[in-house]
């Protein structure tokens, strides 16, 4: 059971800086109230339960959740781990979710949603995260052939089954644990755009909560 005491004050302080960067200022609730409501939703409570427990309307939680997707952390140092996993929609659609995690800080620094797994997807993932392939010192990944494009580009990369690449597996476990409360899939009316926006918001809070530990 999630209680108010488990949602610690540092989360609100960190969200305050994010809201400032996004030029957001809650009108009818304090940043602390919104931060705790968002954290509870992140941890798996339904919007209905969040509203009942924290007295923040569900449409307010949804509004600020969407806004979190627009937050970008500072550019990462060029030592990263990359991986991909499947994301399911209730109508049977499947997407590939790509994640880049900073090996130094543990932060998720780039995400991408695609219908395919290809070398082009790898390039777009890195470039979308502001990671210049010519400046990357180390990329760890699994044995997927789509990562062979990195050799063509002259990027230093390494196939690693365990070790540091597990940082991305940990991220996926946290995400799938959250999706378990949604029956492990997104609703039938979820589009690629809305799924990616939801995932970006999730990882924004993931980074903040990891930083606060």
The reply to whether 65 and 84 lie within a common domain is: no
To the nearest whole number, what is the mean pLDDT of the chain? 80
The reply to whether 35 and 99 lie within a common domain is: no
The reply to whether 62 and 152 lie within a common domain is: no
pLDDT of the residue at 213: 44
Cα distance between residue 131 and residue 22, in whole Å: 22
Note down the domain range covering 29. Answer: 9-69
pLDDT of the residue at 146: 93
Give the global pTM: 0.78
Burial class (CB in 10 A: 0-12, 13-18, 19+), 16: middle
The reply to whether 179 and 83 lie within a common domain is: yes
The reply to whether 108 and 132 lie within a common domain is: yes
Cα distance between residue 51 and residue 47, in whole Å: 6
Query: Does the residue 38 lie in any domain?
Result: yes
The reply to whether 93 and 171 lie within a common domain is: yes
Count of domains observed in the chain? 2
Cα distance between residue 79 and residue 167, in whole Å: 12
Strand partners, 7: none
Query: Does the residue 124 lie in any domain?
Result: yes
pLDDT of the residue at 4: 46
The reply to whether 31 and 131 lie within a common domain is: no
Positions of the chain with pLDDT under 50: 1-7, 213
pLDDT of the residue at 116: 92
pLDDT of the residue at 5: 45
Query: Does the residue 58 lie in any domain?
Result: yes
The reply to whether 49 and 131 lie within a common domain is: no
Q: What are phi and psi of 176, to 5 degrees?
A: -70, -30
pLDDT per residue over 11-59, tens digit each?
A: 666 677 777 767 777 888 887 888 888 888 888 889 999 999 989 999 9
Cα distance between residue 210 and residue 44, in whole Å: 16
The reply to whether 185 and 106 lie within a common domain is: yes
Q: What are phi and psi of 43, to 5 degrees?
A: -80, -5
Cα distance between residue 187 and residue 10, in whole Å: 32
Following DSSP, what letter does each residue of 74-118 receive, concatenated?
PPPPSEEEEEEEEEEBTTS-EEEEEEEEETTT--EEEEEEESS--
The reply to whether 173 and 129 lie within a common domain is: yes
């Amino acid at each position: 059971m999630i209680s108010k005491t488990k949602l610690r004050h540092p989360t609100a302080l960190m969200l305050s800086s994010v809201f400032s960067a996004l030029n957001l200022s809650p009108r009818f609730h304090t940043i602390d109230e919104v931060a705790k409501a968002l954290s509870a939703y992140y941890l798996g409570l339904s919007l209905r339960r969040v509203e009942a427990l924290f007295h923040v309307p569900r449409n307010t939680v949804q509004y600020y959740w969407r806004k979190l997707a627009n937050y970008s952390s500072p550019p990462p140092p060029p030592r990263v781990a990359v991986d991909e996993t499947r994301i399911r929609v209730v109508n049977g659609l499947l997407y590939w979710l790509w994640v880049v995690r900073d090996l130094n800080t543990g932060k998720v620094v780039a995400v991408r949603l695609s219908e395919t797994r290809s070398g082009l997807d790898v390039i777009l993932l890195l470039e979308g995260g502001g990671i210049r392939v010519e400046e990357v010192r180390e990329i760890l990944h699994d044995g997927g052939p789509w990562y062979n494009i990195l050799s063509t580009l002259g990027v230093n990369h390494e196939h690693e089954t365990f070790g540091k690449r597990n940082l991305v597996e940990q991220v996926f476990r946290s995400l799938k644990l959250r999706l378990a409360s949604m029956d492990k899939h997104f609703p039938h009316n979820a589009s690629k755009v809305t799924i990616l926006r939801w995932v970006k918001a999730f990882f924004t809070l993931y980074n903040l909560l990891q930083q606060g530990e």
